[in-house]
């Protein structure tokens, strides 16, 4: 039998309380994650030319994900003191493996969707009577293809399908939203175990997600983008203000670029706190099994 969720307002208050309670105690993990993000961006700059730094950058990327999982596990353990194992590194390792599995799932789904839309858009463009091979590789070919789609009405169908695909990806994310909290709370690698818990609650979870995740992400992303743009890093503001492709951050030293990336990560911190606060709130309401307090850190 599916659990009964309280009203969204009560869940929202609980999630906000959770987020506030972990902001300061998990600050060291945040600083470590920000440093890891900066390091990744530094290696990304070095590997941009396809040099031998590429393999090292891939390793640094995995380390960055693990550091993020370490910070995440610390937040979950502080919000669920009766959960977790004796050391945070074990919880972080499990969360790391679970995250890689979910990222891999999204990569496969994203790849298949990209392949489908590439083929489908090509068919629509061909039906519209335009042959992009005439200007292959040029920017003009892209714009002519868009004009051909718009004139034929195929763009409307394409946009509808893109919206449906995006909604499907969000739905999948909402159904898997509790995998992190469940992995720490259940003390074992958990990916799809929480799938059934969210059944029948997607609409309410979606409302909470929009208010506590999507809206803060948009606001914080704009703030971070504006700050980075003012510091010379190419962001969305670089397109809107200059009206052309960005090229400013190429001149920035790799070290400064890494520092600015770390600063941008710090600006996004409330988004992560709110996400973990919401996940634990929903986990406490929907998980059918609770860890025995007498077996804490067992």
Task: Tell me, letter by letter, the H, E, C secondary structure of 82-101.
Answer: CCCCCCHHHHHHHHHHHHHH
Contacts of 32 (CB under 8 A, 6+ apart): 67, 70, 71
Tell me the pTM: 0.84
CB of 263 within 8 A of CB of 159?
no
Q: What does the block give as tokens for 235? A: 């962001």
Taking CA 194 as the corner, what is the angle to CA 265 and CA 88, rounded to the nearest 5 degrees?
50
CA 45, CA 176: separation in Å to the nearest integer? 33
From the list 284, 216, 285, the residue with the least C-alpha distance to 79 is: 284
Q: Which of 22, 24, 59, 19 is nearest to 39 (CA)?
A: 59
Q: Which tokens sit at 199?
A: 């059944």
Q: In this predicted structure, what is the pLDDT of residue 151?
A: 64
Tens place of pLDDT per residue across the chain (298 aa): 467 788 889 999 999 999 999 999 999 999 999 999 998 888 877 766 555 666 777 888 899 999 999 999 999 999 998 877 778 899 999 999 999 999 999 999 999 999 998 888 777 776 666 555 555 555 555 566 666 666 666 677 888 899 999 999 999 999 999 999 999 988 888 888 888 888 889 999 999 999 999 999 999 999 988 888 887 777 766 555 544 444 556 567 777 888 888 999 999 999 999 999 999 999 999 987 654 444 433 3
């Amino acid at each position: 039998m599916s659990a009964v969720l309280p009203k969204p307002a009560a869940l929202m208050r609980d999630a906000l309380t959770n987020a506030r309670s972990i902001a300061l105690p998990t600050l060291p993990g945040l600083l470590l994650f920000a440093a890891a993000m900066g390091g990744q961006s530094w290696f990304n700059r070095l590997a941009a030319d396809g040099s031998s730094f590429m393999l090292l950058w891939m390793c640094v990327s995995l380390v960055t994900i693990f550091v993020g999982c370490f910070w995440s596990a610390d937040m979950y353990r502080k919000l669920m003191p009766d959960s977790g194992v004796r050391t945070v590194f074990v919880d972080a390792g499990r969360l790391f493996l679970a995250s890689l599995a979910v990222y891999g799932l999204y990569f496969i789904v994203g790849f298949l969707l990209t392949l489908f839309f590439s083929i489908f858009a090509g068919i629509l463009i061909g039906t519209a009577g335009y042959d992009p091979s005439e200007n292959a590789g040029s920017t003009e070919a892209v714009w002519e293809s868009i004009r051909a789609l718009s004139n034929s009405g195929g763009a409307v169908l394409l946009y509808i399908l893109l919206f449906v695909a995006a909604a499907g990806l969000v739905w999948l994310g909402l159904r898997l939203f509790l995998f992190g909290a469940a992995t720490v709370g259940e003390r074992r690698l958990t990916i799809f175990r929480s799938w059934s818990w969210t059944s029948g609650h997607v609409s309410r979870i979606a409302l909470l997600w929009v208010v506590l995740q999507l809206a803060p992400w948009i606001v914080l992303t704009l703030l971070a983008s504006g700050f980075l743009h003012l510091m010379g890093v190419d962001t969305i503001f670089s397109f809107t203000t200059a009206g052309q492709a960005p090229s400013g951050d190429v001149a920035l030293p790799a070290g400064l670029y890494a520092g600015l990336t770390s600063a941008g990560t710090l600006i996004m911190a409330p988004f992560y706190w709110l996400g973990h606060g919401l996940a634990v709130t929903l986990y406490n309401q929907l998980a059918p099994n609770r860890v025995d307090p007498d077996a804490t850190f067992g």
